[in-house]
Amino acid sequence: MARRSMRLVEYGKPFQLTKEEVPTAPKGGAVVKTEYAGMCHSDVLIMDGDFPMPLNTVMGHEIAGTVHDIEPGEDLKVGDRVAVYWQGGCGECSRCEVGETIACLKDIKRHLGAMEDGGFSDYVIVPDTRLLVKVPDTVAMDTACLLPCSGLTAYNAVCKMLPTVQDFAKHTADCAVLLVGAGGLGLWGVQFAKQLLPAGVRVISADVDNVKLATAREAGCDEALLWGKDVDDDTAVAAAKKACGGLGAAVAAIDFVNVPETFGRIEKILAPGGMHVLVGLLGVGASGSVPLMPYVLNRHQMTSLLMGSLPQLKDLMALVAQGKIKPPPISHHPLENVYDVLQDLKAGKVEGRAVVKL
C-alpha cells in the first residue's frame, strides 16, 4: 500500500505527485486517512511563495478523514471520523495544554499543510491526538474539512465582536453589525452572526458582487449593500449608515476583505465604542490609515485574528451538528487536479469551496 501526495517542490510551479509508504502513528499522535481536503485562498499564497513554507512539503490544511493508526488507550479508535485542527504547537506549554496551540508560548508552529505535510495526500501524520476533533454523524465530511479553517475563522470573528454587541444590546434594541465580503467566509459569518449575536441585531452584508449578495440574503442577512467600483466612499458610507437603522452606525464590523478602501469605510460607519475586526488577507502589501484623534474620540476598538482555537473548533462542530448552519456550495476534485483548481481559485473562478476528494 502506498500513499500518494502532491508536493510543493518549487514556488509557482505545478506540484509533484509522489508515492511513499503509508506512515505509522508517531508517539502521542495518529495517522488519518484523508477523505476530503479543502483548497483555501491561503494555499494560493503558500503556493506562490507569499507565505513562508518549506519546499518539498504537502499542502492542504483543511482535512477530514478517518483515524487509520493510533496508540491503544486513546479516546479515539481506528475508523473514527475526525476533522484535523491543523495548527499544532509544542504540545507542552500551558497555552497548548488548553488548546491555544496557535498562541504556543514557545512559538512552535507544527502547522499541517503549511509547515509539515498536510491533506493533499491519502494519509496525514497528526503529531498530537489532541488535535483531532470527532465529526458527529449529522455533519457531512466535506463540510467537516472546511471547519478548521474558513469556518473557524468566521466563527472566531463573530466571537470577537460578541462582547461589544452584547454590551450595546443591553442599552438599545436598535443594533446593527456590518460584514464586509460575502464570499465563503462572509456567508459563514452571516449565519454565525444570526446564531450567536443577541436576537434582533441587524446583520448587514456588503460586497462588490451582486450574485454574492443574493447568496448572503439567502444566508439570512437583513440588508445587502453593493459596493461596486462605481460606488464612491461617501455614497457607500451613507447607504451603510442608513441601513443600520436608528443608531445610524454599526456597533461592530468584520472585514473579510481587508483592503485600504474597506478599512477606511468601516472606520466611518462604526458607532462610537464600536469594534472593528480585521480578518481578510487580500490587502497583500497594502496599509490602511486611521485619523488618530477621531479614533480616540470615538473610542473605536480594533482587533485581528487568524483562525481560532481548538476549543472554538469543538464548539463550532457542535453548532454545525445542530443542522442550523448551511455550508457553502462545495465542489469535489481528484487529487491530481489540485494544482489546476488552485489556479482557478486564484483567478476567482471557483464558486463556494473546492475540496479534494481522496
The residue type found at 307 is M
Cβ-based neighbour number of residue 51 at 10 Å: 13
Q: Which is nearer to Zn ion, 42 or 164 (CB)?
A: 42
How near is the Cβ of 89 to Zn ion at its closest, in Å? 4
Q: At 355, is the secondary structure helix, strand, or coil? A: strand
Asked if residue 33 lies in contact with residue 122, where contact means CB atoms within 8 angstroms, the answer is yes
Site for Zn ion in 285-314 (CB under 5 A): none
Q: How many other CB atoms are there within 10 angstroms of residue 21's CB atom?
A: 9
Cα–Cα distance measured from residue 275 to residue 163, given in angstroms and rounded to the nearest whole number: 9
Taking the complex as a whole, the smallest distance from the CB of residue 87 to Zn ion amounts, in Å, to: 10
Contacts to Zn ion from residues 18-77, by CB under 5 A: 40, 42
Q: List the Cα angle 70/74/79 in 5-degree steps.
A: 50
Q: Which residue is nearest to Zn ion (CB)?
A: 40
Instruction: Tell me how far, at minimum, the Cβ of 93 lies from Zn ion, in Å.
Output: 3
Residues making up the chain, counted from first to last: 358
Q: Is 282 in the site for Zn ion (CB under 5 A)?
A: no
CB of 205 to Zn ion, least distance (A): 21
Using CB under 5 A, count the residues that bind Zn ion.
8
Q: Which is nearer to Zn ion, 139 or 355 (CB)?
A: 355
> At its nearest, how many Å lie between Zn ion and the CB of residue 96?
3
Applying CB under 5 A, which part among 116-124, 146-154, 179-187, 251-259 lies near Zn ion? 146-154
| Binding segment toward Zn ion, per CB under 5 A, in 5-13, 141-149, 223-231, 317-325 | 141-149
Q: Minimum distance between the CB of residue 297 and Zn ion, rounded to whole angstroms? A: 37
How far apart (Å, rounded) are the C-alpha atoms in residues 106 and 110?
Answer: 12
Half-sphere exposure of 98 (CA within 13 A, CB side): 6
Nearer to Zn ion (CB atom), residue 17 or residue 45: 45
CA 210, CA 214: separation in Å to the nearest integer? 6
Spatial CA neighbour of 212 closest among 235, 185, 233:
185
Half-sphere exposure of 133 (CA within 13 A, CB side): 28
- The least distance separating Zn ion from the CB of residue 307, rounded to whole angstroms, comes to 8
Single out the segment in contact with Zn ion by CB under 5 A; choices: 26-34, 148-156, 196-204, 241-249: 148-156
Residues 81-140 that bind Zn ion (CB under 5 A): 89-90, 93, 96, 104
Whether 58 and 5 have beta carbons less than 8 Å apart is answered as yes
93 vs 302 by CB, closer to Zn ion: 93
Name which position in 46, 149, 177, 219 contacts Zn ion (CB under 5 A).
Answer: 149
> How many C-beta neighbours within 10 Å does residue 33 have?
18
Nearer to Zn ion among residue 96 and residue 162 (C-beta): 96
Amino acid at 330: I
Q: How far is the CB of 246 from Zn ion (least distance, A)?
A: 38
Report in angstroms how near the CB of residue 63 gets to Zn ion at its nearest: 11
Contact of 220 with 177, CB cutoff 8 Å? no
DSSP letter assigned to residue 130: G
Nearer to Zn ion, 96 or 145 (CB): 96
Nearest CB to Zn ion, comparing residues 11 and 51: 51
Q: Which is nearer to Zn ion, 102 or 182 (CB)?
A: 102
Give the nearer residue to Zn ion in terms of CB position, either 115 or 252: 115
Stretches 6-14, 145-153, 230-238, 289-297: which one binds Zn ion (CB under 5 A)?
A: 145-153
Q: Return d(Cα 53, Cα 8) in angstroms, integer.
A: 9
Contacts (Cβ under 8 Å, ≥6 apart) of 44: 342, 345, 346
Amino acid at 192: F
Binding interface with Zn ion (CB under 5 A): 40, 42, 89-90, 93, 96, 104, 149
